[in-house]
Amino acid sequence: MPMLSSNMNCVAEFFTYETTKSVVVKSWTVGVINRAVQLLIISYFIGWVFLHEKAYQVRDTSIESSVVTKVKGFGKYTNRVMDTADYVTPPQGTSVFVIITKQIVTENQVQGFCPESEVKYSCVSDSDCQRPVPTTGGGILTGRCVNYNRSLRTCEIQGWCPAEVDTVQAPIMLEAENFTLFIKNSIRFPLFDFEKGNLLPNLTAQDIRTCRFHPVNQPFCPILRLGDIVRFAGQDFSKLASTGGILGIKIGWVCDLDRSWEHCVPSYTFTRLDSVSEKNNVSPGYNFRYAKYYRRENGTEYRTLMKAFGIRFDVLVYGNAGKFNIIPTLINTVAAFTSVGVGTVLCDIILLNFLKGAEQYKAKKFEEVTEVTLRHSPVYRSSQMLGGRNDEKQSTDSGAYSIGL
Ligand SMILES: *[C@@H]1O[C@H](CO)[C@@H](O)[C@H](O)[C@H]1NC(C)=O
């Protein structure tokens, strides 16, 4: 039986509710600070968190996208008319492609032995070619020093001969400035199953043929002039075409799906991505080599080596979409209400340390209970212990009862 009653006690102890007691401070200074801090916190949450950052929405940042590109235009280069198949690589219309604007061509290379073509490989005797020498040349060094021309002797290589001379000045294909780039971009936000493309429905077939992108006048035209892209990226076309470079065409889809379908539109921005090569002289620009291989009638293979300088375009698609959802709304609302309480920390510091009469406030706020007091009044939870006086008064702030002053 005593066992049971002690259990009952435990249960009764468990089913109780504890609430904190409040001290109401009638002080203008702390009162004003308290309200000001609360107002600041509330306006931060309403203005920034809810309205600006849209904390009531759930966001999908995993945008799915496909990009198809097509370049059009004819250029003239070394007495040849160049079409898309000549200057665009790779030809598949991917989101990353190069427009070749300058080429250094080395024709009729065959496998064999020949002297290096550059002055930095010059030598007097074979021993000069047996020391470790730069390996950036045209082939494997044989260790012999041979005549390159009447005045220059260079180290001999085994490889594709004759060796490339890439220090010559080559012209650039200036017409590339007027080439056009057509971008077809489809996106999807999988969380909301929302799909859209950059060819907006109000764009007619006629528009698509004639329009040219302009950030203000034609912000949704999917046809871009290369010269414009370079200019929007803050670059000089002929300089970029000469050294080569990498430009980023960024298509941003930042959508508020609480608004209608029409309001989700792409925005195009342009930057130079290889800014490191812009600022240093060791490796300026962008170039690469490729070759075309042929076979003579007698079976010997020969090739045409091309060192190509060009503008590489990277079409980068980014974006996120938000839509109202009850869970983030609740979480952020609760966070807002909780944060209002942060003001009390500041007010307490001022109240208990810097205000006139801080000692009295301290005495009211913190009541000391010693063991002796406890032994004399075993029911230490009663209000007799803490205040002594019983006239209670309601606080306007939290709705809690507090001791009247
Ligand atoms: C580009 O086109 C404009 C107008 O059609 C023309 O005046 C200009 O000469 C062209 N630029 C080049 C480099 O061909």
Q: Measured between alpha carbons, how far is 264 from 282 in angstroms, rounded to an integer?
A: 44
Looking from the CA of residue 178, the nearest atom of ligand 1 is 1
- Non-local (6+) Cβ contacts of 68 within 8 A are 93, 183, 184, 185
Highest mean pLDDT among 81-85, 163-167, 208-212, 389-393: 81-85
Best probe residue, ligand 1, of 177, 178, 237 (max atoms within 8 Å of C-beta): 178
pLDDT the model gives residue 223: 94
Q: How far is the CA of 178 from the centre of ligand 1 (A)?
A: 6
Nearest protein Cα to ligand 1, atom 9: 175
Supply the pTM of this predicted model.
0.76
DSSP character for 92?
Answer: T
Q: How far is the CA of 177 from the centre of ligand 1 (A)?
A: 8
Q: How confident is the model at residue 134 (pLDDT cuts 50, 70, 90)?
A: low
- Non-local (6+) Cβ contacts of 397 within 8 A are 22, 24
Q: Where are the alpha helices (DSSP H) in 89-174?
A: none
Tokens of 94: 């991917």
Nearest protein Cα to ligand 1, atom 2: 178
List residues bridging with 321 in a β-sheet. Answer: 60, 255
Q: How many CB atoms lie within 10 A of CB 403?
A: 18
pLDDT the model gives residue 276: 84
Tokens of 211: 């329009």
Which is more confident, 6 or 97?
A: 97
pLDDT the model gives residue 268: 96
- Is 387's pLDDT higher than 90? no
pLDDT the model gives residue 400: 41
pLDDT the model gives residue 389: 45
Pocket of ligand 1 (CB under 6 A): 174-175, 177-178
Q: How far is the CA of 64 from the centre of ligand 1 (A)?
A: 37
Q: Measured between alpha carbons, how far is 104 from 304 in angstroms, rounded to an integer?
A: 10
pLDDT the model gives residue 403: 40
Q: What is the pLDDT of residues 340-373, one digit of tens each?
A: 888 888 888 888 888 888 888 888 888 777 777 6
pLDDT the model gives residue 275: 83
Q: What is the pLDDT of residues 269-298, one digit of tens each?
A: 999 998 888 777 778 889 999 999 999 999
Q: What is the pLDDT of residues 185-216, one digit of tens each?
A: 999 999 999 999 999 998 888 888 889 999 99
Dihedral angle, C-alpha 175, 177, 180, 184, nearest 10 °: 140
pLDDT the model gives residue 376: 63
Q: Among residues 134, 170, 173, 168, which one has the least CA distance to residue 154?
A: 134
Q: Among residues 319, 312, 263, 378, which one has the least CA distance to residue 99?
A: 312
pLDDT the model gives residue 375: 64
Q: Quick check: 212 and 223 in contact, CB under 8 A?
A: yes
pLDDT the model gives residue 23: 83
- Is 382's pLDDT higher than 70? no
The mean of the pLDDT values for the chain is 86
pLDDT the model gives residue 160: 93
Q: How far is the CA of 206 from the centre of ligand 1 (A)?
A: 22
Q: Among residues 19, 125, 42, 14, which one has the least CA distance to residue 335?
A: 42
Looking from the CA of residue 177, the nearest atom of ligand 1 is 13
Q: Across residues 43-67, what is the average pLDDT?
A: 93
pLDDT the model gives residue 7: 79
Q: How far is the CA of 218 from the centre of ligand 1 (A)?
A: 20
Q: Quick check: 154 and 117 in contact, CB under 8 A?
A: yes
Tokens of 209: 């043929």
Alpha carbons within 13 angstroms on the beta-carbon side of residue 367 total 16
DSSP calls for 140-158:
EEEEEEEESSSS-EEEEEE
Q: Quick check: 247 and 272 in contact, CB under 8 A?
A: yes
Nearest protein Cα to ligand 1, atom 5: 178
Looking from the CA of residue 174, the nearest atom of ligand 1 is 13
- Non-local (6+) Cβ contacts of 223 within 8 A are 180, 181, 182, 208, 211, 212, 213
- Is 175's pLDDT higher than 60? yes
Q: Quick check: 340 and 147 in contact, CB under 8 A?
A: no
Q: Measured between alpha carbons, how far is 257 from 63 in angstroms, rounded to an integer?
A: 14
pLDDT the model gives residue 365: 82
- Is 379's pLDDT higher than 70? no
Q: What is the pLDDT of residues 211-241, one digit of tens each?
A: 999 999 999 999 999 999 999 999 999 999 9
pLDDT the model gives residue 355: 81
Q: How far is the CA of 192 from the centre of ligand 1 (A)?
A: 45
DSSP calls for 313-344:
EEEEEEEEEEEE-HHHHHHHHHHHHHHHTHHH
pLDDT the model gives residue 92: 93
- Is 143's pLDDT higher than 80? yes
Nearest protein Cα to ligand 1, atom 10: 178
Which is more confident, 404 or 12?
A: 12
Tokens of 177: 């400035």
pLDDT the model gives residue 390: 45
Q: How confident is the model at residue 150 (pLDDT cuts 50, 70, 90)?
A: confident
Which is more confident, 22 or 211?
A: 211
Q: What is the pLDDT of residues 70-89, one digit of tens each?
A: 999 999 998 999 999 999 99
The pLDDT > 70 percentage for the chain reads 89
Nearest protein Cα to ligand 1, atom 6: 178
pLDDT the model gives residue 378: 53
Which is more confident, 311 or 387?
A: 311
- Is 129's pLDDT higher than 90? no
